[in-house]
Structure 1
Amino acid sequence: MVLSRENGDQAPVPPYWEEAKAELMKRDRIMNRLIPQFGDLHLVGHDDPFITLARAIVNQQVTTQVANAAWAKLLETCPKFTPAAVQKTGAAALAGCGLSKRKAEYILDLADHFKNKKVHAAQWAQMDDEAVIAELVQIRGITRWTAEMFLIFNLLRPNVLPLDDSRLISGISQNYFSGEPVSRSDAREVSANWEPFRTVATWYLWRSLDPVPVK
């Protein structure tokens, strides 16, 4: 099994990754150029759904570097990072890690949903993408973008296209339109060539813009 060594981590390659790379390189000249630049690096998933969603909330509307710094401080403040531990930590301490007051409240609400079993986490692996999104967006602070990040990083779904993701739009602009503005319609048109592996193409576009691993 090929392993990734991003940030010293070792993780199994998503089962569709190698097939997706081959297909994307065959179909898309930009992917044919991008994919070889990153060797054996690949999407590294997160097993814990609560942590994945909390991390996605932290990542909302900030740069990768800012999000990584805030997340590191959160783990220093709350090393276990279970729903119960997060609730015990409290809003003030969470905000002190570099989060906005609103994001701290969102993470506490997420902890409440998990601790009191208001979500059906055990069933998500069997649900289709849109059904998972529909349940997740009922949680305060979980947007469609956040739910799509969960599909990518926890459930490892292969065909997610997060059109609300500014990095994806920037990646399409830089790589396919010479930096010109890109509409959602443009992005959909470009991505039609990536199906059923839009997650993989998205990940490579992220990496084309930012040397910091996308998590």
Structure 2
Amino acid sequence: MEWEDHEDYLRIFAPKAFSFKENIGYLSRSADECMFSISDEKIYRALALQNETVVVEISSEGDRILFVRFLSGAAQDARAEVARYIWEWFDLDTNLESFYQLTKNDPLLHEPTAKFYGLRNVGLPDLFEALAWGILGQQINLSFAYTLKRRFVEAFGKKVDHYWLFPLPETIARLQVDDLAALKMTQKKAEYLIGVARLIESNELSKEKLLEADFKTAEKMLVNIRGIGPWTANYVLMRCLRYPSAFPIDDVGLQNAFKLTLGYDEKPTKAEIRQYAEHWRGWETYATFYLWRMLY
């Protein structure tokens, strides 16, 4: 991780294959996003750190240097924590050069990777947020998923200045299903959210335990949780745990991206998707992320 601490601001030096413009374009995809706001090519959000909460403004210098300004004070150790969070949020540890080499002549990926060069798998570093977002998004369109997330965050999260922090698992663990009824989500989703929150609060489930496992073991650990099927498991493996081979093959958006990019009249079969994906072995997460990006 390359960064400089200037007390009132940080400068974070992203690797070569990074474009702030492409990443902020991705983050701007929904006007109903509640975890951050974007204005004048700057991102504003609150971050709950180990010992304090800070509000930051993130912009860029020359598209590759992230300029992070503190809108609230931050101790020295907190500034280092902010740098680490942003580095992980934008997945800056991943070297994309070999991925781009792989996709140059790929019939499906050459267009999205050329069009969105520098886009990163912008993640959800917090495990509970990633799991909750995956559960909320099950079997509904993206627009309604954002509506449910906003209701959930505004009902049970914490507001710092004008910015929201995601609800804590210990807060949700103490709820009953009826406490979520006003949000207009299904009873099953309410049960799943509370169940996952209780597993995290009791430390039966943690990001550290999942990262200690290999990919298949981590996937099995997640799928064994009530309400977490293969799609949600692979979503979390992609967006939070950063396993490069995570692949939500049954995702409707992925199927639509195939259809759009290849000019198909019908969605591809699972066998066709697997055939294309053979060429991406080890890069399924990024292939999926770039194909999703073609849809909005």
Q: Normalised by the size of structure 1, how large is the TM-score?
A: 0.88
Computed over aligned residues only, the root mean square deviation of the Cα atoms, in angstroms, reads: 2.0
Corresponding letter in the other structure for 1:204: Y
Q: Match for residue 144 of structure 2?
A: 66
Match of 1:16 among 81, 94, 97: 94
2:108, 2:258 within 8 Å by CA — same for their partners in 1?
no
Of 223, 226, 235, the residue aligned with 1:140 is 226
Over the matched positions of the two proteins, sequence identity in percent amounts to 26
Task: Detail structure 1 runs of 4+ shifted over 6 Å in the superposition.
Answer: none
Q: 157, 170, 174: which is aligned to 1:84?
A: 170
2-structure distance, mates of 1:28, 1:167:
20
- Of the candidates 274, 277, 283, which is equivalent to residue 191 of structure 1? 277
Structure 1 residues 94 and 174, CA, compared in 2 at 3 Å: closer, same or farther?
same
Select the residue among 129, 134, 151 that pairs with 1:56.
Answer: 134
Segments of 5+ residues of structure 2 without an aligned counterpart are 1-13, 29-37, 44-57, 59-85, 159-166
Answering whether residue 235 of structure 2 is matched by residue 149 of structure 1, we say yes
Which has the higher relative contact order, 1 or 2, with Cα contacts under 8 A spaced 6 or more apart? Answer: 1
In structure 1, C-alpha distance between the alignment counterparts of 2:287 and 2:106, rounded to whole Å? 10
| Contact 2:127 2:206 (C-alpha < 8 Å) held by counterparts | no
Q: Distance in 1 between matches of 2:289 and 2:98?
A: 12
Q: Which has the higher strand share?
A: 2
Give the CA deviation at 1:147: 0.7
| Matched length | 210
Q: Give the drift of 1:95.
A: 3.2
CA distance in 1, matches of 2:144, 2:95: 28
2:108 to 17, 22, 30: 30
Distance 1:100 1:153 in 2: 24
Q: Is the 8 A contact 1:20 1:200 kept in 2?
A: no
- Distance in 2 between residues matched to 1:28 and 1:39, nearest whole Å: 15
> In structure 1, what is the Cα distance between the partners aligned to 2:240 and 2:176?
25
Counterpart Cα distance in 2 of 1:98 and 1:126: 36
* 1:44 CA drift (Å): 0.9
Q: Structure 2 CA distance, aligned partners of 1:190 and 1:173?
A: 13
Hey, what's the Cα distance between the residues in 2 that align with 1:194 and 1:27?
12
CA distance in 2, matches of 1:147, 1:23: 28
Residue 21 of structure 1: CA displacement?
Answer: 4.3
Check the 8 A contact 2:173/2:201 in 1, yes or no.
Answer: no
Structure label with greater radius of gyration: 2
- Comparing 197-206 and 114-123, the one that deviates more: 114-123
Equivalent pair of 1:16/1:158 in contact (CA under 8 Å): no
Describe the superposition over 1:88-118 as per-residue Cα deviations: whole angstroms up to 9, x where unpaired. Answer: 4432332322311110011011111111222
